[in-house]
Each structure stands twice: as C-alpha cells, then as structure tokens.
Chain A
C-alpha cells in the first residue's frame, strides 16, 4: 500500500543524490515512523475495539491492550448491524452518493465542454459567472435550501440530498480546464468525418478524459459520503438517512456499547479504505486538483 504516484511533475524531485550520514538517515526514519504510528493508532484502536467484547473497550482503554483484541469476537458487528439498521443506512448512502456523483459527472462535464470548446454568444460571461460561484460555500445556502425543500415537500427524501448537489461550479471549472488542454486535432478529424458535437463528445472527448472524470468522481464522492450538516436538516427517518447521521444517532442510542460503536465506525470506514487503496492515484490527483481552485 503505497502512494504510487505523486501529483504534478513527479520526475523532478528535489531529492539530494549525495549519500547522507547514516545517523541522519536513521533519525529521519525514526521521525517518519513515529508520525506513522500516531496516524495509524486511532485506526488500529477502532478496528481493535470493534473486535472486542463491549466491556473490554473501556476497560483496556488506557493501556497497550487498547490496541489488541485479546478475546476477538465478531458479535459487535452483528449487533451493530441490527441495532442501527446498518443495511438500510448503507443503501441510503450508496443511493445518494451514486446518484450525486454519477449525474454530476454527466452534467458538469457537458457544461465544461460547452464552455471550453463550443462557440456561443455570452460564453465568456457565463464562464466568469461559474468561476465566481465557486467561492460560495454550501453552508451559506443551507437555510434557504431548507425552506425551499419544505415548500417543495422534499423533506426527508432522497432527492433533497441529491438534486441540489449535482451541478457544482468547481467541478465544471475542472472539466473546463481539462478539456481546454486537449489537442484539437482529433475533434477536427471527427468533424471532417461528419460527427456532430454530441458524437464528438461521447466518442472522442470522454474516453480521452478518464483522469479528469476519475478525479472529480473521487472528490465528489468524498464530499458527499461524509456530509452531516445537510442531512441532519433535511432527513428525519431511517428510510433516507445516510451513514454519518446514522452514526450520530447510533452513538447516543442506549444501551451505550462502545464495541458496537467501533464496529459501526469500522464498517463505515472499510469500503472507503478499500476504494482508496485501489484508486490511490486518482485520490491524490483529485486532492491536488483542489489547489487549482481559484
């Protein structure tokens, strides 16, 4: 498990080529290792706690035993799954994330393409407006959106969690700058062959732009999967509630059982962890792409 690729011009690393003194190198490894330990400890604690009998989580809490399940059991997982209705929450999160990310990729990339390549009057003005919209944080819109959802009768539905988040000016801008940098020759060849804009987009642009789609998908997924403030406002029932809200309810649900809560946390983390380890490259590029944000 390694971050195999680093964003940007990976080949020009300013790494010193001269051999460095051994004690220096040892110190370097020591510091790196210590930091790694600190970063991993909470995750190790979470997985260990999930595998322990409930009473042991707090009893072992203050010592090295906190990190080692001496009497491992899978009971917490079954109990947390049933008590929290985890299957339903997971389904809700998957539906909301899947729809938001999927529909978002389609409409944002199409708009990005129209801004980068098609010619129409007012395009530059619209582009400037999209760029200006990037700085509006969602929190500034949450209250009017809540009023709007109430008036539309959308409270406590999937669409209240999906529709407002599909179009995103930052993603439109990312697609726009990616398309702008693509060579035009292929498109022109397609045009000569008689392909219209839609066919050119579908069969030439989209296949060439997989990295952009991957980065936006990952960013969009991370943002949607972790959302808490909006679903706290917009959902009431277990039928549509996503995992983070489920977690906030479950952690106060009596009887308070820390093993179960850690099992819930572990079940919620494993899928993203696996996805991350498989698609590290896109993750890292997606994050680094944020720095482009203007």
Chain B
C-alpha cells in the first residue's frame, strides 16, 4: 500500500472528504474521552505551527510597516509604507528581481522540457530503463551546496572541464568566462540548477505518464497516429495537470534561488550584482544590515508573488476540469 496510489486531488479541489458525514461512533465510546484524545493528538503540532509559522507570518506583515532593527536600542516606530517605498526605489532590489525573472524565464521552460523528455525517454521499454532512471535522479541527492562547488570547478574558464570540452568541439572559438563574466554568470547558475533539479521533475512526470491508460495509446495507434502525434494528442493532454504543477513549482523555486548565487560567484551575487537575487537581498538587508523592517517588506513582496503563481496554477487546473 503505497501512499502515492492515493488519488491526487485535482488542483483547486476542496481537500478530500473531510466533511463527508462521519460514521457514528468510529472511536472509543465516551465522546468526552474522544475530545480529550483529539486535543492531545493535535496540540503539539498545532502549537508549533501557531508559534513558528502563523506568528512569524503575521509578524512579517506587521514588521514591514515598522522601522524594526535587529538588536538595536532604538525605539520601534510605525513607518507606514516607507519600507515598500524604499525597496521599490532601490536599484539593487530591481536588479535582483530582474535576475530572478531572467532565471525563471530560462529555467522554467528548459528544465520542464528536459525533465519531460527524460521521463518519456525512460518510460519506454528498454533493458536498461531502470538504470537510466536511477542515474538521472542521482544529482538530486547531492545537496545544492555540493553541486554548486563541483560546478564552480567544472566551469573555471581556463582550467575547467566544460570549457575544455567546448574548446575541443568549437576549435577554441567558444570560451565563456562563466562565473567571472557578468553575462555568463547567470547561465552558469542555470546549468548547475538544471543538472541538480531535473531528476526531481522527471520522477513527477513519470508518475503522471504512468497514470495515462495504455488503451489511449492503442486507440491512437489503431487510428494510425505516429509517435509524435501520440505524444501531441495523448501524452500532453494526459499530463496537463502534472505540467501545470511542475511549472508552478519550478517558477516558485526560481524566485527562491539562493544557494547557488551564495556559493558559486567569488562574492555572493557577483560579479557586479549579475547574480544577485531577492533571497540574497533578503539575507543582506535583514541579517547583514540588520534592517528587519525593510527585509520583512521584501519577504511580503516575495510571498505575494508565490501566492499569485499558485492562484494561477489553481485557475489553470480548474479550467481543465471544466473541459472534461
């Protein structure tokens, strides 16, 4: 009994039947005893959620309207929209927002397409299919900090393996500076991220592929559909929910980008801010410069973005059910 065999609720669907009429007397008789038990079962997690999730979340919103600083004797004052004004007029904030957007614009389509291609590739009946699946998933198991350091060496302009291979293939014409160049640093980070993360999405696509009934492919073949037509008219529509989900997760992941830009360039976010991201900005504003209020405003903007992406995903998921 694996719990992935549970039916996936379609995006936007109300959570599974919590509200179906509960069967009478499912648990021990005396209902007061039952209530005490329910309380004891719920309290540890519920209290932790209240203190370490709900409270900080509300605090972030409240703090974003104050001049709160970390460990400062100055009195805390309400400062209205000043923090938001400051971040929206801060060139560095827009630079990081732009970098996140650039990263998302490249990584979302590339990583989704590669993951889907890999899933289709290893979903066929091949003798070594299971071996390939395992190998494609391996990088996911290496921590991002490790992946960052290894790729940092692989991407060294003059003594890295990547440029060694590129030089041989292009007879020395292509010689990118990667992490030491303002225009190649972001591609270096994209490369690392896709290598480390693509296996993850592949596994999610595989689960989606296997939920498509084989009879649909049979029918398509009987109708004379070729491999591409089968992919276009059976696989893609069947994967729609999975696709929406993967794109959503990857987009949010793109705006959480931190480990790679912290570990890979010589200085975090470098060279000259070309890999500075919102999360690095959050760390440096709130932790290094101790401006809790302003960093909270960044956190709120970030959360609103995540919320927007999630709501769009639910909307798309709902449309699909309407079509069915």
What is A's interface to B at a CB cutoff of 8 Å?
1-4, 6-10, 12-16, 25, 28-29, 31-32, 35-36, 38-43, 45-46, 49, 57-59, 61-63, 66-67, 106-108, 110-111, 113-120, 123-124, 126-128, 130-131, 133, 135-137, 139-148, 150, 163-167, 169, 172-174, 177-178, 180-181, 184, 187-188, 191, 195-198, 200-201, 208, 211-212, 215, 222, 225-226, 228-229, 232-233, 243-244, 247-248, 251, 258, 261-262, 265, 268-269, 272-273, 276, 280, 283-285, 287-294
Contact = CB atoms under 8 A, between A and B. Distances in A.
Contacts of A46: 146, 150
B222 to A, nearest CB: 12
Contact of B26 (A15, A188, A261): A188
Contacts of B42: 110-111, 114-115, 120, 126
B106 interface: no
B323 interface: no
A32 to B, nearest CB: 5
A131 B16 CA distance: 11
Interface of B: 1-6, 8-9, 11-13, 15-19, 22-23, 26-29, 31, 33-35, 37-42, 44-46, 48-49, 52-57, 59-60, 63, 68, 70-71, 118, 121-126, 128, 130-147, 149-154, 156, 158-161, 163-164, 167, 195, 199-200, 203-204, 206-214, 216-217, 221, 242, 245, 249, 252, 256, 258-259, 262-263, 279, 282-283, 286-287, 292, 295-296, 299-300, 302-303, 306-307, 310
A9 B159 CA distance: 47
A259 B214 CA distance: 50
A132 B160 CA distance: 46
A133 B63 contact: no
A126 B123 contact: no
Describe B's contact surface by its main secondary structure: helix
A42 B137 contact: no
Contact of B147 (A2, A9, A42): A42
A146 B11 contact: no
Given A62-B161, A114-B42, A146-B286, A196 B3 contact: no
Given A141-B53, A148-B56, A292-B8, 15 more contacts: A3-B134, A10-B210, A36-B132, A40-B135, A66-B161, A117-B27, A135-B306, A136-B57, A165-B52, A184-B23, A184-B26, A201-B41, A233-B286, A265-B146, A294-B11
B9 A294 contact: yes
Contacts of A225: 143
The listed residue with most A CB atoms (<10 A of its CB), out of B207, B216, B249, is B207
Contact of B37 (A118, A228, A233): A118
